[in-house]
Structure 1
Amino acid sequence: MAAARKPPSILGFPHRPEWGPAAHRKALAGHLRRCRDHVGLQPRQAARCINASESTISRMENGLSPLKPEEVEYLFDAYGVDDPRERHRIADLLEEAAKPDVWQPYAQSVPPLLRPLLAMEPAAQRIISYEPQLVPGWLQTEEYAEIVMRAAHPTMPARQIAERVALRVQRIEMLRRETTPPVLLAVMDSEVFRRQVGTPGVMYRQIQHLLALLEELPYRLRLQIAPLSVGAAGAIGHPIVHLRFFASEYLPDMVYLEQYEGAMYREKPAESERYLAVLNNLCGVASPPAQSPSLLTAALAAWR
């Protein structure tokens, strides 16, 4: 007789408030799907347990719908999840999942397509970013960020610009936290330091800021600069961000592809691995991180 399959467990996903509500919602959503699959229920059968539609179950299992505690409890009852440790962890994650995401205080200003990235990046173990045109958002000074925002959105009200700038410059704080901070590997084209944003003073202070961050966060921030000589390897015309999470068993890699009129996300393993390979190739041809301080110092001299 074949051994019974081991039921799914959520105990491997810790209760980590610093990872943000979205990560907890996403982990619970995937766990709901795995538990339903384990007991062999179809979505329409699960939907009857909470007097909902099949599409509601689909949205819940994909993290696209709020997780109401009473509905989640009914579903886990139907799935036979009765281990007190499992139910206690589920209750903790539900409580965390109900909190507002980091972007919600700025909801009137943050575009919807950017929200998933902002919501999930606090849970990342490693972030790899490629930026061909500008200093990456995490590393921008307030004045640099404001000029970039105004150039991209010349008709946006000043209040919304200010809110976007405030949110952008605070993103670096996740690298400063004491508990499970992510590591950020940022690759940018050398032309970023020749492309004037604002006055020469703005550029000078921005490069100074990068040097200060490298000194402050030597194990959490790695910066690589790709010269024009990398050729085709650097011929990517849009920013790419690849997130890998601490609880990777519960949270699949996420890829964010930014474009002028919007953005796209890729989470299927084959797609995320393809973009990771592109980024790894860029890292391989860019200058090593150890050379970045001297390259930045040389760039600084050009803006004196």
Structure 2
Amino acid sequence: MAGQHTGIPSIRGFQPRPYLGAAAHRRALGEHLRRCRNSRGITGKAAARHIGTSGSTVSRLESGDRTENTGHHTAALLRVCGVADEGEVSHALSVAAEGERPDAWEAYGSYVARWVQPLLALEPAAQRIMSYEPQLVPGWLQTEEYAQLVIRAGFPDADQHEIEARARARASRLSLFERSQEPPVLVAVMDEDVLRRPVGSPGVMYRQIEHLIGILQGNLRHRIKLHIAPLAIGTMGAVGHPIVHLRFADALLTDFVYLEQSENARCVEGEGEAERYRSRINGLSAMANPAEQTLTLLEDRRDELARNRP
């Protein structure tokens, strides 16, 4: 690249794609800017001083958080780092512009819980989603009927309109895997006890299982792998809380882990700890029944519910 310092990273490998969501573009841009700055040995404070802003603004920009004047700060920071190639700067500004769009979770309206917003913002960009769920059917695979009852338990004071809106938002996430452009793959592990835990009337669980069977028999069967972990694995498989691990195809996006708790969640990023959780889900899937057996297990449980329905 004419006029550009040879040791400076390029962002051209990350192509702006609206369907990945704004958060992924902000994070990719932030990671690129951090790499450029580090390649020149410039501290965040020094970079901020050079471009006339605060150190916290540079930190937020590099973390993928929303900031004011993102395009201006991006261009200025790249100049400080010695990026002279106009095509490189223009590409970075295109990524920055995509990051200014609404985050993916905003399409669901104002009923999305604050702690789940980071997951909903980033999951459209995932190449692979790995999930462990000890108590419920994984959110992407829930029916609206099942979701309403689960949400009602968590938000007992919410009115019915809010409950229905939250349930629609949760059930609509299945469309992520139906996307024609770079859809993710889901590998989910669900405890066997989930199929026997009462959620509403027996008919609710019957219809939920029918929904799962339809997914595994339909067009998504090659994109969604559902493992059922038997109770026999005992404490070897005990985790106690849901885990979601996102892995991305783009090198500028590091692994992301979502750990849901009661009315809260913790998010983990990067290699170290995120890798530990990925390994944990891999271990759980290895101890669980093979995904090829899930359809039979679901059909057996559906038939058992049908025999016992009043």
* TM bucket, shorter chain: over 0.9
Identity %, equivalent residues: 48
For the 8 Å contact 1:56–1:65, the answer to whether it is kept is no
Equivalent residue, structure 1, for 2:9: 8
Q: Which runs of 5+ in 2 are unaligned?
A: none
- Equivalent residue for 2:225, pick from 197, 222, 232: 222
Distance in 2 (CA, whole Å) between partners of 1:82 and 1:214 is 51
Report the Cα offset of residue 5 of structure 1.
Answer: 5.8
Matches within 5 A, 1:40-189: 40-66=41-67, 68-106=70-108, 108-189=110-191
Equivalent residue, structure 2, for 1:29: 30
Distance in 1 (CA, whole Å) between partners of 2:275 and 2:80 is 36
String of CA shifts for 1:175-219, please: whole Å, max 9, x gaps: 001111100011101111111111111111100100111122121
Q: In the alignment, residue 202 of structure 2 is paired with which amino acid?
A: P
For the 8 Å contact 1:103–1:167, the answer to whether it is kept is no
Equivalent residue, structure 1, for 2:248: 245
For the 8 Å contact 1:227–1:286, the answer to whether it is kept is yes
Report the Cα offset of residue 12 of structure 1.
Answer: 1.4
- Does residue 232 (structure 1) correspond to residue 239 (structure 2)? The answer is no
Q: In the alignment, residue 86 of structure 2 is paired with which amino acid?
A: P
For the 8 Å contact 1:186–1:222, the answer to whether it is kept is yes
Distance in 2 (CA, whole Å) between partners of 1:89 and 1:215 is 42
For the 8 Å contact 2:74–2:93, the answer to whether it is kept is no
String of CA shifts for 1:143-194, please: whole Å, max 9, x gaps: 1001100011101233332222121111111100111110001110111111
Root mean square deviation, CA, Å: 1.5
- SS of the equivalent of 1:44 reads helix
Q: In the alignment, residue 106 of structure 2 is paired with which amino acid?
A: Q
Q: In the alignment, residue 23 of structure 1 is paired with which amino acid?
A: A
Equivalent residue, structure 2, for 1:296: 298
Report the Cα offset of residue 64 of structure 1.
Answer: 2.4
Report the Cα offset of residue 83 of structure 1.
Answer: 1.8
Report the Cα offset of residue 58 of structure 1.
Answer: 1.1
- Does residue 20 (structure 1) correspond to residue 21 (structure 2)? The answer is yes
Runs of 4+ residues deviating >3 angstroms: none
Distance in 1 (CA, whole Å) between partners of 2:223 and 2:47 is 43
Q: 1:257–1:183: structure 2 CA closer, same or farther, 3 Å change rule?
A: same
User: TM-score, normalised to structure 1's length?
Assistant: 0.94
- SS of the equivalent of 1:172 reads helix
User: TM-score, normalised to structure 2's length?
Assistant: 0.93
Distance in 2 (CA, whole Å) between partners of 1:215 and 1:259 is 32
Distance in 2 (CA, whole Å) between partners of 1:243 and 1:139 is 17
